Structure 1
Amino acid sequence: MTQPLVTSSVSDHVATILFNRPAQLNAMNSRMIDALCDALAEASANPQVKVVILGGHGTSFMAGADIKEYAQLNPQSFADFQERGARVYELIEQADKVVVAAVNGYALGGGFEIALAADLVVAQRDAKLGLPESRLGLVPGGGGTQRLLRKLPYNRAVELLMTGAARPAPLWHEWGVVNVLAEGDALAAARQWCERFAEASLPALVALKRLARDARDLPFDAGLARERQALNALHETPYALARIDEFARKSA
């Protein structure tokens, strides 16, 4: 029986989506792209899910695209592969959920681009992350150049892009790209860490994610306006009204 290229489960408001090509270090081929897009869309549409954790079966998160498949592609099919892959990163960024990358082993190329598109990153201390495309005479195709430049100073990002070097997780933590360093299993650490987000209301988490993106992409005044709109809308939700009333009674 053929194993699924992506596995998915939901527990306590957390959806866990795992890449499942461990013998290939979870390198992403065309069929995995389709399976991952389906899993992300399903998790995003599930009203019971507040947090999505992305991880990998086996010893690695994802060692980039499947280069063996690359070698078989003509110019048009290569362009199609990149177009389909771009959907993965869009679904992660546009999901109305908090998306957390739980990185073990290697997160290279497209695997690191998934981590860059995620809202938060938990990484094992011995994990290595990077964009090695320049060593193949290529450039990143899943937003690596654009997202890395939004997270790191220009000189640092350009150095990493041009050398294609993979760096250890503690350095990425020092640079602010990794939120949490896990001494043990990254997936277990991510699940434990995400409990705090799963306790929050989904509308508030959705609004906070959108506002954080706005702060990066919109002019300051426009971001402030959206923040006020979001606050006023959330104030009328049953969850917020109940929590405000509960706090007021305790403070009386």
Structure 2
Amino acid sequence: MSSTTVDSSALTDSPVLTDITDGIARIRLNRPHARNAVNLELCHALRRSFEELDADPNVRVVLLSAEGNAFCAGADLKERVDKDEHWVRQRRLASFAAYEAIERCRKPVVASTHGAVVGSGGEIAMACDFIIAARDTTFRFPEPHWGTVGATQRLQRVIGKRRAKELLFTNRLLGAEEAYALGLVTRLVEPGELSAVTAEVGRSIAGAPALAIELTKQAIDLGEETDLDRGIRIEMAAIERCLADGGWRDGVDRFNTSHSAHEGEQP
């Protein structure tokens, strides 16, 4: 795989920074002065970045992280001062569009979280395929306590309806260990290891056949929406695409080469 680097952020004060190296795209939320609180500009930038990466044939995986001491402190309520209901409605639609762009990306998207993950920050992380969290990560979903509604759909799909209700109703802090136990987080690491572990995960995914990874993601996501019988049909259709592509032969060759090498090792 060739090594290329692209920086789509000409200015360091851009709310979203993007670079691509060896098929691994790294997106960083870049409002550390506001603890990466989500404003309208960040929503538009996040959506645009993911749409561009989704269309880029050189991108194999996307790693989403954040600058500063917090992943995301939620919605930036300061920008709503003196705004009317129409503006707030449009702002919320912009955030939904950003989350959807993350979720619909055909490439695997891995969130790498640290510090506070609040409200909209949780939506961004949950829109990714899975979350690697530093042990100092905390989650909170305070939308009802801010007089609004949010996180009612993704959260319940990740941790279940009753647990989602409890977190939204109470606004209590959820530590990384409990988030892992609930399935919100798939892997916990020490804060100092977060970057290295996430990079290794990115390399592992990028090293796999791109079509097989894309179809695996698609089959899981579509299969979740139906019963097992239809899910098997979805998987079979994905298998047929892999067979038609012919790349599966390379996978067989790699397996046989690796298997032969291991057989030659002495215990």
SS of residue paired to 1:52: strand
1:214-233 maps to which residues of 2 (within 5 A)?
214-233=222-241
How far residue 113 of structure 1 moved from its aligned partner, in angstroms, is: 0.5
The runs of 4+ residues in structure 1 deviating greater than 6 Å are 249-252
Q: Note if contact 1:103-1:187 (Cα within 8 Å) is conserved in structure 2.
A: no
Question: Structure 2: where are the runs of 5+ without partners?
Answer: 1-10, 261-267
Structure 1 partner of 2:173: 166
Of the three residues 96, 105, 113, the one matched with 2:106 is: 96
How far residue 243 of structure 1 moved from its aligned partner, in angstroms, is: 2.3
How far residue 165 of structure 1 moved from its aligned partner, in angstroms, is: 1.8
Q: Deviations over 1:83-116 (max 9, x none)?
A: 1111111111110100111101111111101111
1:1-252 maps to which residues of 2 (within 5 A)?
3-140=13-150, 144-185=151-192, 186-245=194-253, 247=255
Question: Structure 1: where are the runs of 5+ without partners?
Answer: none
How far residue 213 of structure 1 moved from its aligned partner, in angstroms, is: 1.0
Gap change, CA 1:213 and 1:27, over 3 Å in 2:
same
For CA contacts below 8 A with separation 6 or more, give which structure has more relative contact order. 1
How far residue 2 of structure 1 moved from its aligned partner, in angstroms, is: 6.9
Write the letter of the residue equivalent to 2:155: L
TM-score by length of structure 1 reads: 0.92
Write the letter of the residue equivalent to 1:160: L
Q: Percent identity among equivalent residues?
A: 31
Q: Note if contact 2:47-2:99 (Cα within 8 Å) is conserved in structure 1.
A: no
Gap change, CA 1:62 and 1:234, over 3 Å in 2:
same
Write the letter of the residue equivalent to 1:179: T
Q: Separation in 1 of the partners of 2:69 and 2:208? A: 32
Q: Note if contact 2:35-2:70 (Cα within 8 Å) is conserved in structure 1.
A: yes
Q: Separation in 1 of the partners of 2:97 and 2:212? A: 25
Deviates more, 1:165-174 or 1:74-83: 165-174
How far residue 73 of structure 1 moved from its aligned partner, in angstroms, is: 2.1
Q: Deviations over 1:175-199 (max 9, x none)?
A: 1111111202433321122222111
SS of residue paired to 1:9: strand
Write the letter of the residue equivalent to 1:26: N
Gap change, CA 1:56 and 1:2, over 3 Å in 2:
closer
- Structure showing greater radius of gyration is 2
Write the letter of the residue equivalent to 1:175: L
Q: Separation in 2 of the partners of 1:165 and 1:59? A: 20
Write the letter of the residue equivalent to 2:135: R
Q: Separation in 2 of the partners of 1:249 and 1:127? A: 41
Length, aligned pairs only: 249
Gap change, CA 1:245 and 1:193, over 3 Å in 2:
closer
Q: Separation in 2 of the partners of 1:84 and 1:249? A: 49
